[in-house]
Chains A and B, each alone.
Chain A
């Protein structure tokens, strides 16, 4: 990391500006997409997260120089991402997976005189 890289850095500046513009465009896209009413919530979520992931990758790859980073850093981040996904996925799966016949009252407060919804039995 010495000053002989200064001419390389000016090339990088072009990339930084391009990423900046892409991020702003991505933000506008995400907000616009919000106003388009999709059939299913799953589609909305997927698109929003997809655009967010692209933006995050641009920041991580170019602003944080991850695209040209060393193996040690990649190894640390790979392990982290794996455990993060594991934590998220397993926790949500655990909540959704119940023995057959469980009547999960969930967060609906029972109405007086009305039995908890039988459809909630899984």
Chain B
């Protein structure tokens, strides 16, 4: 493939640089995809915990509005000032800031980096038989951009005025007007942080697509790729093409905030009783279109890698090939394609006409079909399987009905006539949390338990894994199921007192007190969910030193190529070039002694 003179020249160059890299080169400024994957994973898990901590504080205010938060309240007042938490009581502005940052951090700093960047970076090159990503230095740059974006977002809590508080959706004009006391405020840092995060995702997306197109090992044809790789491929395209419009919009909103422009501020805007001194002529709807143009593909970015992980774990733990591989591939491609033309189903209440609402309604209904096909294929894959109920499999099995609930509850939201009643209520919160929390996050937990032995050479504790699973499953449902009821009753989201003002109100059509009372038990379930993560965190770190050592490079007896490398895989991954000889899920092939045949076996 390369001219012989070339290889000789490069070989000389490599020989010169063959000293063992120091700590900084090896672990911090590494260009190795596995190290970068772990960097992404650890950082993302930290943000996941932090984002959870934010909502735990919000849940106190929702359960006991106006009451001082024990211990944490005093800390908040010391850290953030009396404006935020006078006497330990959460003020409305702080509630809004926590809400906006919980959403932003969970979506952009936790789930996407974990699902796409961490798992993708570690697993994809290994699964396709490549020595690394196509552009290792770009890979390192993408992690660094993510890290800087994360630091900026975290810092925004501590500047005057506090963090951004206009929702993770940052709608104009409120995003521009919410904090007029400070020119550079939390919203400014939010936008700058987003630009770094978007840059990180774009660099990562280019890398993934180029790697999957160019660096597949010989014999690894498109239809022999593990489904996880297909899922990451489509996810990368979504990030590549959907993020730039948000970047454009973010720059425009930044200019609205700092340069006095009116991209999204309409003429005649009245602020605090006076006509604002702006040029006007802008459109708040323009922001919404540009935001949701990303926002919708973004939710598929959140779910597709998890579906990929679940597919891998199910195939491995049923000891049979996935049912309907071709259907899975075509469905994931269809989802990727359709996800770009459904976005305005987030905007049914903006006064769009019937024709355009019908268009988006139709495409939204159509996109539910490939999603159902994927779920069906995964369900059918269980039929006749010899199921091993280990921890990754438990999480993957639970993913199926949980994602099912999340997806099905999305249908009334896809129709504009029913969405009129459910939009901006707790129904929406329940819907998307079902998809992301017991959906995606369960898939990600499955992935951690599944690939942990390949990365560390040790198994995580099965017992504590199962404790983690059952507690998380019970509490996640306890949190989000009642929220559907609250949504149907009309309880609006983003109310800092959880709707207590509207409880059995005499002057306004109120919300039954019993619905508001659900807030308390939801909060208890949320805090219990937090406690249930402690065994996981301990398991994760302790198993690195005390976990049961693996006896083979392939402890799960899996077929995909990442299990054919040494444990952990060395720099360059494969000692000699690997060739793919067969389909990815050859389990229980008749005539073979073992119940699996690795993909690289002749």
Contacts and interface: CB of A to CB of B under 8 A. Distances in A.
* Whether chain A touches chain B in the assembled complex (some CB pair under 8 Å): yes
Contacts of A61: none
B267 A108 contact: yes
Interface stretch (B180-188, B350-358, B452-460): B350-358
Contact of A95 (B237, B268, B283, B354): B283
B555 interface: no
Closest A-B pairs by Cβ, 3 of them: A97-B353, A97-B356, A107-B267
Contacts of B267: 106-109
A96 B564 CA distance: 57
B280 A86 contact: no
B547 interface: no
A94 interface: yes
A9 interface: no
Contacts of A105: 268
A86 B353 contact: no
Contacts of B237: 79
A102 interface: yes
A98 B213 CA distance: 44
Contacts of A80: 241
B496 interface: no
A79 B234 CA distance: 12
27 contacts: A79-B237, A83-B241, A86-B340, A87-B293, A90-B341, A91-B286, A91-B289, A91-B290, A93-B356, A94-B285, A94-B347, A94-B356, A95-B283, A95-B285, A97-B352, A97-B353, A97-B356, A98-B352, A98-B353, A99-B351, A102-B351, A105-B268, A106-B267, A107-B267, A107-B280, A107-B281, A109-B280
Contacts of B359: 90
A110 interface: yes
Contacts of A90: 341, 344, 356, 359
Interface string B546-575: 000000000000000000000000000000
A65 B241 CA distance: 22
B167 interface: no
Contacts of B530: none
Contacts of B352: 94, 97-98
A70 to B, nearest CB: 10
Given A99-B354, A105-B268, 17 more contacts: A79-B241, A83-B340, A86-B340, A91-B286, A91-B289, A95-B283, A97-B352, A97-B354, A97-B356, A98-B351, A98-B352, A98-B353, A99-B351, A107-B281, A108-B267, A109-B267, A109-B280
A87 B289 CA distance: 9
A107 B266 contact: yes
Contacts of B266: 107
Chain A interface size, as a band, is 20 to 34
Nearest to B245: A87
Interface string B35-66: 00000000000000000000000000000000
A72 interface: yes
Contact of B355 (A86, A97, A107): A97
A106 B281 CA distance: 8
Given A95-B285, A99-B353, A72 B213 contact: yes
Interface string A15-46: 00000000000000000000000000000000
B2 to A, nearest CB: 12
Interface in A49-89: 72, 79-80, 83, 86-87
A41 to B, nearest CB: 18
B235 to A, nearest CB: 14
A94 B289 CA distance: 9
Interface of B: 213, 237, 241, 245, 266-268, 280-281, 283, 285-286, 289-290, 293, 337, 340-341, 344, 347, 351-356, 359
A108 B268 CA distance: 8
Contacts of A95: 283, 285
Task: Count chain A CB atoms within 10 A of each CB in B237, B245, B344, B352 and give the residue with the most.
Answer: B352
B197 to A, nearest CB: 21
Task: Count chain B CB atoms within 10 A of each CB in A80, A83, A95, A99 and give the residue with the most.
Answer: A83
A110 B356 contact: no
Contacts of B356: 90, 93-94, 97
A80 to B, nearest CB: 6
A80 B281 CA distance: 30
A87 to B, nearest CB: 6
Contact of A94 (B268, B281, B344): B344
Contacts of B355: 97
Nearest to A72: B213
A115 B58 CA distance: 46
A111 to B, nearest CB: 11
Nearest to B213: A72
Nearest to A99: B353
Contacts of A93: 356
A93 B289 CA distance: 11
A21 B267 CA distance: 45
A105 B245 CA distance: 27
A16 to B, nearest CB: 28
Given A79-B241, A102-B351, A110 B268 contact: yes
A97 B285 CA distance: 13
B393 to A, nearest CB: 35
A98 B289 CA distance: 15
Contacts of B286: 91
Nearest to B341: A86
B20 to A, nearest CB: 36
Contacts of B289: 91, 94
Nearest to A93: B356
A56 B267 CA distance: 36
A97 B360 CA distance: 13
B329 to A, nearest CB: 15
A24 B202 CA distance: 34
Contacts of B280: 107, 109
Contacts of B341: 86, 90
A83 B245 CA distance: 11
B285 to A, nearest CB: 7
Contacts of B268: 105, 109-110
A87 B266 CA distance: 22
